[in-house]
């Protein structure tokens, strides 16, 4: 172990001096480049390569594409103000496809370094990461990066740059302010309401915003939480850097400088005073004069004027020591980096601010610990006593023998076995050398003995066995991969040999804690036991073996591969709750079917997919109903990375990938007033209301004629459906109403109110919200099932089920009824895709004493009959397909704006907004584009705009495709307008048929019409 690593290991025990931080930003704002300089400060890479190597991007494709795809960690040592610090630094990806990797990093850290490109300013992912840091209760510092771009790209003078910096700061602070107000408002909602008013009482209209403390909230250089940097040129400074420089050089008072160096202050040279009001008097602010002017001067002298003499003078005044070799360099960029990084070393500014400003793991605090232990929707108080006791261990973060061991695994990452510390080539000891020599001699003798038997060698049974085993092993792709858990110890110590409980996300200490404590493992308790086989320090591309891991540190753990799939909580105490799952900001929407090129590789692919699933938090692997292996990814870039991983590491065989499969939703709409050519529909086609009264009702009977139903479907208002989608976690929480936290209780009431408002346009729905008996599919989906049979007295979703009244047999069969609805909404009749925005009404339900014999159990018959009924009543309404839409954010240069619009329109996209980034020629354009039309968009845009436009695609919403998929030209006008075969084909039908074809469903499609015409086309000329 190197000296540095030894030091790091020692430092792990001093929790006060540990900082766990991650670097977060929008894509390409310079996180990895910044990390380089910090890593270089530890001598892991040479300072010369810092900013160019992108050390934390250890994968080949990360290097080639220039984007980070995985978050990775490194432990750094930093001596600061006579103390020694251990900084566990994490680099995260900025591309939206990998936002789940950001989640895994954020989970383990206490502090965040938010990087913002000073030219691009706040971008969509910047907002997302600020929100994530906020939600996790992390303390952030801000790095305004790429300041060099202001000089040469934007060609700003120092005052212009100052104004621009202020603008970007305001943008960031606006985001912070917004999050703060939202929080205060939601907190003030929780305050107990005053119900009685006495005379003389004053009513407080304020929202609490005035009293809330926001002094620490905003970023400001004067607050000491902003750093200015150019990561690629290796320099950075905070206000404190210049305060130090000028107090030494010019004998200024530190306190005065700290107050005045940032802000509306200027220097009056005559009076030798610093005064306020630079703006009004049109004077140079102090920051411009003392800071920016100097930096601009260096860039000017070195890169523009190439004036060595002047430069030497400047270096002399500052007392910098530059290597003669760098001074002689003919490349001005090298010279610039050498000078600037000596004057304003990046690592010093960033790391010292991290040590001073960001909390240690011991400062985790009560609030954050509670948040980790208990989902927001539940009351902390309902946790069992034994569990509540663990809160002190969380907050204390101590490593005594008596402390429970609590570890959170946020992801599993693959390491090739040869890279593991134990397996790296070591120099051989004398004994090992001697034994190898003997072995070689024996082999040689054996060979000589068997030489006479014409090449045939008799093998013993044992030898045969080993050979067979070896052959089998050769086929297993996972053999050279070991999964290491990316984890943080929250309490206690961890070493190889420790036996711990592995608690899956669904583990519940209330129900299973006691059994586990007694040594039982009840079925489906989502817990198991595991023995840790090794603990490692994470060092970027390497791992270093650790004897013991201490509380507060981020470490790697081996030996968990068989017990942990993606994330888990490890604890020595079975009363520990599993850590709260993070809500993902995106969900995997792009799915493909994969299969091997050679069918003999099928097993390898199946195994490979499992490994991939384990290694990537954001991948989902499914087997479809027809037996295909489906892979769900966040987007195209993510997909390409997964396929590469699969072919190269996990399955190790050639793979065929289907065209991406894009999901659809099925819905119904009110009967339209006009047909496809905008003619009013009259006559026999009735209005929706009439339909509901008679035509829409479907009547069914179970096969044994014992039970019959009347069902009806109706479209939910769009706002209503949206609410259902947005509040899934509340709907989930409804399942256990007694455990709801008071906050969730209020959220629930609010949710009900909002639903009532959204239902206003539909009288029937308004009257029946209280009669909803289920949501579906999966009991949380955006469809509802309403009980409108007055005699059927069953509990709605909103109330706790009471003890059941005797006498009504139907009540025993409610779950079958609901299951039928669940199945119907899971796969609709258009093309077996899930339904959305549909309400089903149970109009009547008859149950006879007995039915025909010879049929299976009644419950099963009810499931299938209700499912069928829902599907038929769905089809009695005008049906529509819904397509998934992406929000597409594109940063694009003005000169290629037109070309970009061309690409978007061709793909049926709509522009939502377009803004120019002030002072630059870059536009930020937001568009909506159907997911199905988005494939290869990034590539096409790059080609069309010579790489000047970069799209970020995030799933946004579902949109109704306003054409009936079964529509064919019917009326005379339609026939004249569209021709007999609807020449411009019905897009909904195209999509529907494509889905059906994929699923192997029957398609109502004529392949060749009027074949004889085709035959005669050429001959008849
Ligand atoms: N001009 C300039 N370019 C920079 C600076 N810092 C980084 N870059 C460039 O910006 C590009 C992106 O840098 P990265 O460090 O890979 O960005 P990132 O934030 O890690 O990107 P992702 O991980 O993909 O989100 C690279 O081409 C860098 O050379 C800077 O201070 N000034
Ligand atoms: Mg990066």
Give the 3-state secondary structure of residue 597: coil
Q: Is the peptide bond before 777 cis (omega within 30 degrees of 0)?
A: yes
pLDDT in tens, 489-540: 999 999 899 999 988 877 888 888 888 888 787 777 788 889 999 999 988 8
For residue 119, the CA-to-ligand 1 centroid distance in Å is 12
Check residue 266 and report its DSSP letter: E
Best mutation site among 22, 27, 28, 112 for ligand 1 pocket (most ligand atoms within 8 Å of CB): 28
Closest-lying ligand 1 atom to the alpha carbon of residue 56: 20
For residue 489, the CA-to-ligand 1 centroid distance in Å is 32
* Closest CA to ligand 1's atom 29: 232
For residue 112, the CA-to-ligand 2 centroid distance in Å is 15
pLDDT in tens, 696-719: 788 888 888 888 888 889 999 988
Using alpha carbons only, what angle is made at residue 897 by residues 896 and 901, rounded to the nearest 5 degrees?
120
* Closest CA to ligand 1's atom 4: 232
Instruction: Please report the DSSP string for 289-310 in residue order.
Output: IIIIHHHHHHHIIIIII--HHH
For residue 94, the CA-to-ligand 1 centroid distance in Å is 11
**In what helix (H) or strand (E) does residue 449 lie, and over which residues does it extend?**
helix 430-450
- Non-local CB neighbours of 837 within 8 Å, separated by 6+ positions: 665, 667, 668, 715, 716, 718, 720, 721, 782, 783, 882
Closest-lying ligand 1 atom to the alpha carbon of residue 230: 31
N-term to C-term CA, the chain: 86
Instruction: Categorize the per-residue pLDDT at 21 as very low, low, confident or very high, splitting at 50, 70 and 90.
Output: very high
Distance, CA of 90 to CA of 115 (rounded, Å) = 13
Q: In what order do the strands lie in the sheet with 838-847?
A: 698-701, 707-715, 838-847, 783-787, 772-776
Per-residue model confidence (pLDDT) at position 351: 93
Closest-lying ligand 1 atom to the alpha carbon of residue 149: 1
* Closest CA to ligand 1's atom 32: 146
- Mean pLDDT in residue range 920-928: 82
Instruction: Categorize the per-residue pLDDT at 197 as very low, low, confident or very high, splitting at 50, 70 and 90.
Output: very low
For residue 238, the CA-to-ligand 1 centroid distance in Å is 20
For residue 50, the CA-to-ligand 1 centroid distance in Å is 12
Distance, CA of 1020 to CA of 1013 (rounded, Å) = 10
For residue 97, the CA-to-ligand 2 centroid distance in Å is 13
How do 548-549 and 481-491 pair as beta strands?
unpaired
Closest-lying ligand 1 atom to the alpha carbon of residue 94: 25
- Non-local CB neighbours of 726 within 8 Å, separated by 6+ positions: none
For residue 63, the CA-to-ligand 2 centroid distance in Å is 10
* Closest CA to ligand 1's atom 7: 30
Instruction: Categorize the per-residue pLDDT at 814 as very low, low, confident or very high, splitting at 50, 70 and 90.
Output: confident
For residue 359, the CA-to-ligand 1 centroid distance in Å is 27
Distance, CA of 297 to CA of 339 (rounded, Å) = 12
DSSP E strand stretches across 330-401? none
Best mutation site among 29, 30, 124 for ligand 1 pocket (most ligand atoms within 8 Å of CB): 30
Closest-lying ligand 1 atom to the alpha carbon of residue 52: 29
* Closest CA to ligand 1's atom 21: 28
Instruction: Categorize the per-residue pLDDT at 172 as very low, low, confident or very high, splitting at 50, 70 and 90.
Output: very high
Q: In what order do the strands lie in the sheet with 655-657?
A: 620-623, 629-633, 590-596, 655-657
Q: Residue 349 above 70 pLDDT?
A: yes
Distance, CA of 141 to CA of 225 (rounded, Å) = 5
| Among the listed residues 612, 599, 606, 593, the one whose alpha carbon sits nearest the alpha carbon of residue 659 | 593
With b for 16 or more beta-carbon neighbours within 10 A and e for fewer, the 318-330 pattern comes to: eeeebeeebeeee
Q: Residue 770 above 70 pLDDT?
A: yes
- Please give the C-alpha separations between residue 846 and each of 203, 511, 700, 702, 773, in angstroms, as whole numbers: 55, 39, 10, 11, 18
Q: What's the chain's average pLDDT?
A: 81
Distance, CA of 571 to CA of 490 (rounded, Å) = 10
* Closest CA to ligand 1's atom 24: 67
For residue 74, the CA-to-ligand 2 centroid distance in Å is 14
Poorest-pLDDT segment among 95-104, 470-479, 669-678? 470-479
CB 557 within 8 A of CB 487: yes
Q: Residue 651 above 80 pLDDT?
A: yes
Per-residue model confidence (pLDDT) at position 428: 57
Ligand nearest, relative to CA of residue 66:
1
Ligand nearest, relative to CA of residue 234:
1
- Mean pLDDT in residue range 767-794: 86
CB 711 within 8 A of CB 698: yes
Most confident of 77-81, 425-429, 554-558: 554-558
- Mean pLDDT in residue range 802-821: 78
Note the maximum CA span of the chain. 117
Poorest-pLDDT segment among 152-161, 223-232, 243-252, 526-535? 243-252
Per-residue model confidence (pLDDT) at position 677: 59
Q: Residue 1019 above 50 pLDDT?
A: no
Q: Residue 607 above 60 pLDDT?
A: yes
For residue 580, the CA-to-ligand 1 centroid distance in Å is 33
Distance, CA of 899 to CA of 949 (rounded, Å) = 10
pTM of model > 0.85:
no
- Mean pLDDT in residue range 320-324: 85
For residue 28, the CA-to-ligand 1 centroid distance in Å is 5
Using alpha carbons only, what angle is made at residue 95 by residues 93 and 98, rounded to the nearest 5 degrees?
65
Q: Residue 31 above 70 pLDDT?
A: yes
* Closest CA to ligand 1's atom 30: 146
* Closest CA to ligand 1's atom 23: 68
- Please give the C-alpha separations between residue 309 and each of 298, 314, 315, 369, in angstroms, as whole numbers: 12, 9, 10, 59
CB 724 within 8 A of CB 840: no
For residue 620, the CA-to-ligand 2 centroid distance in Å is 24
**In what helix (H) or strand (E) does residue 668 lie, and over which residues does it extend?**
strand 664-668
Q: Residue 965 above 70 pLDDT?
A: yes
Ligand nearest, relative to CA of residue 94:
1
pLDDT in tens, 133-149: 888 888 999 999 999 99
* Closest CA to ligand 1's atom 14: 30
* More confidently predicted of 787 and 249: 787
Instruction: Categorize the per-residue pLDDT at 170 as very low, low, confident or very high, splitting at 50, 70 and 90.
Output: very high
For residue 830, the CA-to-ligand 2 centroid distance in Å is 44
Closest-lying ligand 1 atom to the alpha carbon of residue 146: 31
pLDDT in tens, 203-230: 444 455 566 666 678 899 988 999 999 9
Q: Residue 169 above 90 pLDDT?
A: yes
For residue 67, the CA-to-ligand 2 centroid distance in Å is 5
% of the chain surpassing 70 pLDDT: 85
How do 949-961 and 879-893 pair as beta strands?
antiparallel
Distance, CA of 255 to CA of 258 (rounded, Å) = 5
For residue 52, the CA-to-ligand 1 centroid distance in Å is 9
For residue 95, the CA-to-ligand 2 centroid distance in Å is 9
Best mutation site among 33, 72, 118, 344 for ligand 1 pocket (most ligand atoms within 8 Å of CB): 33
* Closest CA to ligand 1's atom 9: 30
Closest-lying ligand 1 atom to the alpha carbon of residue 229: 31
- Mean pLDDT in residue range 832-840: 91
Closest-lying ligand 1 atom to the alpha carbon of residue 51: 29
- Non-local CB neighbours of 108 within 8 Å, separated by 6+ positions: 20, 22, 90, 408, 410, 486, 487, 488, 554
pLDDT in tens, 562-588: 888 888 889 888 888 888 776 665 667
Ligand nearest, relative to CA of residue 120:
1
Q: Residue 767 above 80 pLDDT?
A: yes
- Ligand 1 site, CB within 6 A: 25, 27-33, 54, 66-68, 93-95, 145-146, 148-149, 230-232
Give the 3-state secondary structure of residue 740: strand
Closest-lying ligand 1 atom to the alpha carbon of residue 29: 19
Poorest-pLDDT segment among 78-82, 167-171, 225-229, 996-1000? 996-1000
CB 734 within 8 A of CB 797: yes
- Mean pLDDT in residue range 776-786: 88
Closest-lying ligand 1 atom to the alpha carbon of residue 66: 16
Using alpha carbons only, what angle is made at residue 648 by residues 643 and 651, rounded to the nearest 5 degrees?
80
Closest-lying ligand 1 atom to the alpha carbon of residue 33: 15
* Closest CA to ligand 1's atom 11: 28
Reading the block at residue 910, the tokens are 């709509």
Most confident of 205-209, 424-428, 679-683, 936-940: 936-940
- Mean pLDDT in residue range 539-559: 89
Closest-lying ligand 1 atom to the alpha carbon of residue 36: 15
Per-residue model confidence (pLDDT) at position 891: 79
% of the chain surpassing 90 pLDDT: 16
Give the 3-state secondary structure of residue 97: helix
Per-residue model confidence (pLDDT) at position 212: 61
Give the 3-state secondary structure of residue 404: coil
Give the 3-state secondary structure of residue 475: helix
Ligand nearest, relative to CA of residue 151:
1
CB 481 within 8 A of CB 649: yes
- Non-local CB neighbours of 657 within 8 Å, separated by 6+ positions: 592, 593, 594, 643
As a residue count, the chain comes to: 1021
Per-residue model confidence (pLDDT) at position 687: 41
Instruction: Categorize the per-residue pLDDT at 194 as very low, low, confident or very high, splitting at 50, 70 and 90.
Output: very low
For residue 774, the CA-to-ligand 2 centroid distance in Å is 45
Best mutation site among 50, 71, 231, 920 for ligand 1 pocket (most ligand atoms within 8 Å of CB): 231
* Closest CA to ligand 1's atom 2: 146
CB 772 within 8 A of CB 782: no
Instruction: Categorize the per-residue pLDDT at 280 as very low, low, confident or very high, splitting at 50, 70 and 90.
Output: confident
Closest-lying ligand 1 atom to the alpha carbon of residue 95: 25
Q: Residue 376 above 80 pLDDT?
A: no
Give the 3-state secondary structure of residue 607: helix
CB 71 within 8 A of CB 105: yes
Closest-lying ligand 1 atom to the alpha carbon of residue 233: 31
- Please give the C-alpha separations between residue 356 and each of 31, 342, 349, in angstroms, as whole numbers: 21, 22, 11
Reading the block at residue 106, the tokens are 């954020």
């Amino acid at each position: 172990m190197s000296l540095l690593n030894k030091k790091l290991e020692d430092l792990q025990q001093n929790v006060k001096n540990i900082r766990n931080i991650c670097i977060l930003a929008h894509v390409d704002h310079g996180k990895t480049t910044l990390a380089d300089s910090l890593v270089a400060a530890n001598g892991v890479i040479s300072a010369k390569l810092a900013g160019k190597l992108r050390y934390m991007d250890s994968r080949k494709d990360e290097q080639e594409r220039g984007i980070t795809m995985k978050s990775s960690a490194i432990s750094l040592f930093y001596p600061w103000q006579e103390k020694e610090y251990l900084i566990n630094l994490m680099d995260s990806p900025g591309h939206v496809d990998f936002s789940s990797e950001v989640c895994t990093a954020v989970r383990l850290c206490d502090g965040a370094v938010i990087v913002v490109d000073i030219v691009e300013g706040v971008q969509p992912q910047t907002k997302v990461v600020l929100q994530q840091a906020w939600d996790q209760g992390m303390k952030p510092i801000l790095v305004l990066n790429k300041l060099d771009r202001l000089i040469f790209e934007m060609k700003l003078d120092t005052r212009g740059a100052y104004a621009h910096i202020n603008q970007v700061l305001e943008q960031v602070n606006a985001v912070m302010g917004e999050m703060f107000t939202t929080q205060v408002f939601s907190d003030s909602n929780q305050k107990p309401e005053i119900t009685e008013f006495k005379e003389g009482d004053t009513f407080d209209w304020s929202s609490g915003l005035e009293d809330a403390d926001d002094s620490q909230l905003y970023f400001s250089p004067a607050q000491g939480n902003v750093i200015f940097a150019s990561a690629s040129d290796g320099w950075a400074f905070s206000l404190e850097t210049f305060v130090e420089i000028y107090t030494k050089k010019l004998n200024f008072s530190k306190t005065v400088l700290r107050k005045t160096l940032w802000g509306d202050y200027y220097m009056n040279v005559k009076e030798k005073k610093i005064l306020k009001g630079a703006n009004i008097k049109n004077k140079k602010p102090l920051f411009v004069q003392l800071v920016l002017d100097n930096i601009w001067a260096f860039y000017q002298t070195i890169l523009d004027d190439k004036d060595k003499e002047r430069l030497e003078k400047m270096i002399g005044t500052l007392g910098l020591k530059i290597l003669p070799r760098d001074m002689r360099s003919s490349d001005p960029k090298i010279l610039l980096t050498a000078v600037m990084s000596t004057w304003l070393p990046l690592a010093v500014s960033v790391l010292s601010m991290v040590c001073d400003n960001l909390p240690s793991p011991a400062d985790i605090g009560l609030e954050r610990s509670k948040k980790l232990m208990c989902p927001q929707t539940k009351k902390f108080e309902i946790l069992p006593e034994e569990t509540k006791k663990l809160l002190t261990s969380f907050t204390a973060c101590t490593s005594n023998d008596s402390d429970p061991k609590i570890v959170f695994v946020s992801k599993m990452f693959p390491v090739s076995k040869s890279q593991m510390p134990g397996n790296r080539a070591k120099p051989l000891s004398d004994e090992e050398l001697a034994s190898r020599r003997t072995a070689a001699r024996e082999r040689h003798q054996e060979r000589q003995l068997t030489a006479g038997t014409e090449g045939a060698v008799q093998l013993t049974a044992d030898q045969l066995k080993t050979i067979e085993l070896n052959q089998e092993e050769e086929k297993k792709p996972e053999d050279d991969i070991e999964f290491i858990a990316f984890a943080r110890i929250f309490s206690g110590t961890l070493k190889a040999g420790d036996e711990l409980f592995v608690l899956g996300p669904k583990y519940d200490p209330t129900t299973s804690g006691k059994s586990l404590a007694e040594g039982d493992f009840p079925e489906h308790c989502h817990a198991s036991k595991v023995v840790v086989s090794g603990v490692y320090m994470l060092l970027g591309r390497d791992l270093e073996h650790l004897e013991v891991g201490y509380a507060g540190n981020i470490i790697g753990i081996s030996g968990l591969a068989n017990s942990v799939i993606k994330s888990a909580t490890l604890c020595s105490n079975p009363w520990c709750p599993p850590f709260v799952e993070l809500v993902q900001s995106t969900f995997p929407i792009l799915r493909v079917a994969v299969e091997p090129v050679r069918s003999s590789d099928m097993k390898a692919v199946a195994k490979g997919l499992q490994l991939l699933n384990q290694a990537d938090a954001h991948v989902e692997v499914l087997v479809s109903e027809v037996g295909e292996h489906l892979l769900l990814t966040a987007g195209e870039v993510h997909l390409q990375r997964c396929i590469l991983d699969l072919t190269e590491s996990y399955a190790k065989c050639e793979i065929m990938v289907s065209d991406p499969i894009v999901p659809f939703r099925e819905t119904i709409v009110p009967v339209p007033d006009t047909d496809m050519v905008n003619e009013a529909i009259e006559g026999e086609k009735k209005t929706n209301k009439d339909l509901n009264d008679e035509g829409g009702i479907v009547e069914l009977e179970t096969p044994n004629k014992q039970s019959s139903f009347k069902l009806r479907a109706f479209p939910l208002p769009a706002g209503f459906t949206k609410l259902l989608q947005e509040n899934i976690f509340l709907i989930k929480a409804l399942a256990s109403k007694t455990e709801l936290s008071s906050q969730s209780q209020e959220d629930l009431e609010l949710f009900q109110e909002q639903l009532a408002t959204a239902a206003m346009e539909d009288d029937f729905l308004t009257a029946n919200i209280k009669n909803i008996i289920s949501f579906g599919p999966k009991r949380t989906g955006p469809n509802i099932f309403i009980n409108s049979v007055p005699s059927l007295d069953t509990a709605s979703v909103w109330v706790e089920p009471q003890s059941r009244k005797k006498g009504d047999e139907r009540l025993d069969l409610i779950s079958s009824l609901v299951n039928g609805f669940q199945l119907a909404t899971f796969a609709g009749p258009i093309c077996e895709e899930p339904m959305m925005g549909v309400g089903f009404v149970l109009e009547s339900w008859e149950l006879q004493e007995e039915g025909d014999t010879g049929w299976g159990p009644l419950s099963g018959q009810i499931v299938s009959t209700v499912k069928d009924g829902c599907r038929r009543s769905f089809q009695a309404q005008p049906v529509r397909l819904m397509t998934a839409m992406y929000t597409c954010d594109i940063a694009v240069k003005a000169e290629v704006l037109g070309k970009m619009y061309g690409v978007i329109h061709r793909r049926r996209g709509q522009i939502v907004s377009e803004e120019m980034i002030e002072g630059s020629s870059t536009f930020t354009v937001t568009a909506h584009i159907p997911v199905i039309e988005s494939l290869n968009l990034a590539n096409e845009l790059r080609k069309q705009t010579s790489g000047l436009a970069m799209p970020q695609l995030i799933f946004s919403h579902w949109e109704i495709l306003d054409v009936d998929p079964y529509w064919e030209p019917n009326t005379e006008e339609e026939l004249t307008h569209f021709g007999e075969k609807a020449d411009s084909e019905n897009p909904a039908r195209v999509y529907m048929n494509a889905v059906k074809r994929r699923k192997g469903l029957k398609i109502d499609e004529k392949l060749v019409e009027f074949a004889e015409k085709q035959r005669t086309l050429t001959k008849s000329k």
